[in-house]
Structure 1
Amino acid sequence: MSAPHIWIVSPASARANNGNWQSASRWARFLRTRYRVSISQQWPESGEQSPPDLLIALHARRSAPSLDAYAQACPQRPSILLLTGTDLYRDIQTDASAQQALRQASALVLLQPAGMDVLPAPLRAKASVIFQSAATLKPAARANRRHLDIVMVGHLRSEKDPLTFMRAAALVTAPRARLIHIGGALEPALEQAALATAAAHARYRWLGALPHAATRQRLKRSHLMAIASHMEGGANVIIEAVCSGVPVLASDISGNRGMLGDDYAGYFPAGDAAALARLIDRALAEPDFYERLRAQCDARLPLFSPAAEQATLLELVDNLLHKAQQGMTK
């Protein structure tokens, strides 16, 4: 008897190399220890012979057609919807297809617990939290460096608010600070802003899109990681920074609080470039403050272990398949 078949729908492809694709790729790897796994940008695909035993969909609005097709074709088979930042903090309030996807999924997965408050109350019973994970990388030595890099990782799109990071480059006063942005240009106006900022301020550099492994190496050599987003479901780059011993400076939004905790000392108001610049200067000038940030990040490390993420995911999938099997045999 062959293992059950899990199908993952990820609107983001490997070429996109964004957080959603990293989630889909990692979950496929975890699930293949026990199941047969397919991954594609939609379901069904042409030429498909038989439906999977369970569908996992990333992104309520963008995966809504696949989830609806699966619910219509396989009403007795379970599905999981992984909610992204734009789902939680925008689409499920206004988009009918995203709202339908919430209702159709057998189970909902959030990437951090603060997102539970945003869900409609009747749906919370079928929701659970699975923290994402990353391999631990040994931090690079930072002593006696000419530059202390503050890195932002994220494609140039408005939800990530790269303009706040760019504007901070004009306001930071620490002479060794260098602001490095890694990410592809998804919006032409932001690409022009990045080029103009790099031309005007020597401390700002935009490196464009880099492969995931190269980005992680660049991150672990950084002094700080900045995330300026207006909305996040549970940013994988926060986990990668924490797992590399790099303290985080984060916009004060629900998704970031769910990752770092309410008492974290490294928040700045979303969109406030001056506040971000002050935090950068303080972290570089005050060793005690920098160590406090690092200690608070280190305390979150156990939440982000691959073993914990895999165990929680496998338990959820096992339980859904078991319940579906019981229902079919009654």
Structure 2
Amino acid sequence: MHIQILTPAPPGSRAGNRATAERWSRLLQKAGHRVSVVTELSPEPCDVFIALHAWRSHQAIREFCRDHPEVPVITVLTGTDIYHHQHVFPQDTRQSMALADALIGLHHQVADDIPDVFRSKLVTVLQSAGLIAPAEADDGHFDICVVGHLRDEKDPLRAALACHYLPENSRIRVFNAGKPHTDGWQRMAEAEQAGNPRFQWLGELDKPATDALMARSRLMVISSVMEGGANVVSEACRAGLPILASDIPGNRGLLGNDYPGYFRVKDEQHLAQLMSRAETSPDYLSQLHNHVEALAGGFVPEAEQTSLLLAIEQAIANSRQRISPED
């Protein structure tokens, strides 16, 4: 089959959804399909159309369904789709869900946050990650990484703010890797770095440099206020890197309700308590490590490929039923 994947993120972008589209392209090609990753509708015919973003891709989804009613359509629900756009722009976002023959959610709790009528279309696809070999840690410090672009949804400076509540003898340092989405975010990161000796903003890193940062870190903080299923969680689990995560559905849907490393959203004092506990309690750090290690098998490429192919099968079956309901 020829499969088209539409993403708003252009070639060369380090946006998560570009990475997802390109990774899916590789997985589907390994399964024997021909795949095109596009940023706008293509005149080239295809057998399955996958659109990342229900809201951002709404116009393209609507036009594709109008012009190619026989082709199965899959809409991928991002965090902003689920937790923001379907409430602020309900008509467009939910129409994209309605037009789709299958929906892809990137964590296990997506069904709880979309309208009941669409749940039967939903297939969960957990994003995979490669292995990252751990590097020797700096025994003089307890380094924590934050990996994610500087934008409102990520709340990226929360770990830096938590540093102000740590004991003076703490060995914690926080390293933040991410591109600022606005000049305002860049100014905030630079100002925090200037006034916080425990914090360093690294800017946008390429994949090898990001992997190296994770490899030498003792802990990762994921402080987002909304997530559709962050690939950085998959990467940390595969690396055996313990996580402290904001208590949101997108994190619980990957780490599980029993994960012991959640902190209250936007609560840097609570986060500081957990950071300090991880630094000073080997038992607690081991508990976090054991949890992520146990989850790592769910984030392998083979599992992601299997789920992705299942979503395609469901879309094809639903489109046939839509076109010939009497069958």
Q: TM-score range by the shorter chain?
A: over 0.9
Q: 1:303 aligns with which of 298, 304, 314?
A: 298
In 2, distance between residues paired with 1:158 and 1:319? 35
Q: Give the match for residue 215 of structure 2.
A: 220
- Give 2:155's aligned residue: 161
> Hey, what's the Cα distance between the residues in 2 that align with 1:175 and 1:320?
52
Match for 2:51: what amino acid? A
Q: How does 1:70-109 map to 2 (within 5 A)?
A: 70-95=64-89, 96-109=91-104
Shift of residue 59, structure 1, vs aligned partner: 0.7
TM-fit CA distance, 1:74: 0.6
- Spell out the pairing of 1:1-330 with structure 2 (5 A cutoff): 4-33=1-30, 34-44=32-42, 48=43, 50-95=44-89, 96-142=91-137, 145-173=139-167, 175-321=170-316
Find the aligned partners of 2:197 and 2:318 in 1 and give their Cα distance. 59
Whole-angstrom CA distance in 1 between matches of 2:117 and 2:316 = 23
Number of equivalences = 321
Which letter maps to 1:200? G
Alpha-carbon offset, residue 202 of structure 1: 1.4
* Aligned AA (2:116): A
Structure 1 position 135, deviation (Å): 1.0
The range that moved more, 286-295 or 90-99, is: 90-99
Aligned residue identity for 1:41: T
- 2-side partners of 1:119 and 1:283: how far apart? 35
Give the 3-state SS of the residue equivalent to 2:75 in structure 1: strand
**Percent identical residues:** 39
TM-score, normalised relative to structure 2: 0.94
CA distance in 2, matches of 1:109, 1:68: 17
Amino acid at match of 2:47: D
Output the aligned Cα RMSD. 1.7
CA distance in 2, matches of 1:99, 1:35: 29
Structure 1: any 5+ residue segments left out of the alignment? Answer: none
Residue 168 of structure 1 contacts residue 273 of structure 1 at CA under 8 Å; is this kept in 2? yes
Separation in structure 2 between the aligned mates of residue 205 and residue 156 of structure 1, nearest angstrom? 14
Shift of 1:115: 1.2
Tell me if the contact between 2:101 and 2:318 (Cα under 8 Å) persists in the aligned partners: no
TM-score, normalization: structure 1? 0.93
Equivalent pair of 1:220/1:245 in contact (CA under 8 Å): no
